[in-house]
Amino acid sequence: MRHVDGIHDVGGMHGFGHVQELTDAPPFAEPWEGKAFVIGALAARISGTNLHAFRHAIERVPPQEYLVGYWNRWTIGAQTLMEDSGIITDAEVRARAARLSGQDVPEPPRPEPHKPQMASGGAGNLRTLDTQPAFAVGDRVRVADHGAVGHTRLPGYVRGRTGTVAALQPCQVFPDTAAHFAGENPQHCYTVDFDSRELWGSDAEPFRLSLELFEPYLEPAR
C-alpha cells in the first residue's frame, strides 16, 4: 500500500498531463511574485521558526490552493507560519486586503506573539555527529513504511522499497523533528539508489533513481 500524506508528495502521481514548456522567463513574472518571494524567504526568521517548519506550512496549504501555483502556496505557507507564531492573523490579512481594495472594514486586533523556542546548533542544516553511521556504501536497505502524520522528507513512492546505499552525505538536522520544534536531532544521511523496476514494476522505463534518506527512515534489507 502506498501512503500519500498530502498534495505536495507528488512523486509518481498520474494525471498532471504534459510538462510545461522550457522558457527563459525571468524568476518573477509579475512584481507581486518578487514580493511574495521575499516575504517567504523572511518568514522563518520573522516567526522564530525554521526552513523545515516553512516547508511543512506549505504542505498544509489546502490542495485546491496548493495547485493554484507556486507563489500562491509559498505566500499562504509564509502566512501560516506567521499565524502560528502569533505575528499576524488571517482576519487581519483579509481585512487589510479588503481595505486595500477600497472597502471600509474594521481592522481586527493584533495577536500576541508566541514564537516557538528550539535550541539551534548553529547556522544552516549541516551538523557533525559522534555516532557511527548504521549503514555503509553498498549496503542493501529497506525504506520504512511509516505513515507520517507531520513533516517528513520521505517521499511516499519509496516507502517499503529496497535500494542500495550509494554515498554518505553530511549529517543534517532531522526535518521530521525540527519542523515541529522538537529538536534538531541531527541524523546520518544517505544517498540511496533504486532500480526503477523496484519502484514502478517490471514494465517501468529502465533507469536509476537516487535520493537522500535519513537514517531513521531505513532498516537493513532482509
Residues 26-85 that bind another protein (CB under 8 A): 26-30, 32, 34-39, 41-42, 46, 55, 58, 62, 64-65, 67-72, 75-76, 78-79
| Of positions 25, 117, 138, 222, contacts another protein by CB under 8 A | 25
At 163, is the secondary structure helix, strand, or coil? strand
The residues in 200-219 that bind another protein, with binding defined as CB under 8 A, are 200, 204-214
User: Toward another protein, which CB reaches closer, 31 or 138?
Assistant: 31
Q: Per CB under 8 A, does 16 bind another protein?
A: yes
Q: Per CB under 8 A, does 22 bind another protein?
A: yes
User: Toward another protein, which CB reaches closer, 41 or 221?
Assistant: 41
Q: Per CB under 8 A, does 169 bind another protein?
A: yes
In the shown chain, the binding pattern of residues 83 to 112 toward another protein, with x for contact by CB under 8 A and - for none, equals ----xx-x-xxx-xx--xx-----------
Q: Number of helices (H) and strands (E), helices first, in the chain? A: 7, 5
Angle (CA) 118 7 218, round 5°: 60
Cell of 176: 521530521
At 40, is the secondary structure helix, strand, or coil? helix
* Minimum separation from the CB atom of position 106 to another protein (A): 15
Angle (CA) 205 190 51, round 5°: 100
User: Toward another protein, which CB reaches closer, 1 or 154?
Assistant: 154
CA–centroid distance for 70 within its chain: 13
CA distance 81 to 19: 30
The residues in 112-141 that bind another protein, with binding defined as CB under 8 A, are 124-126
The residues in 182-201 that bind another protein, with binding defined as CB under 8 A, are 189, 191, 199-200
Cell of 136: 555503509
CA distance 198 to 195: 5
Q: Per CB under 8 A, does 8 bind another protein?
A: yes
User: Toward another protein, which CB reaches closer, 169 or 181?
Assistant: 169
Q: By the 8 A CB rule, do 148 and 6 touch?
A: no
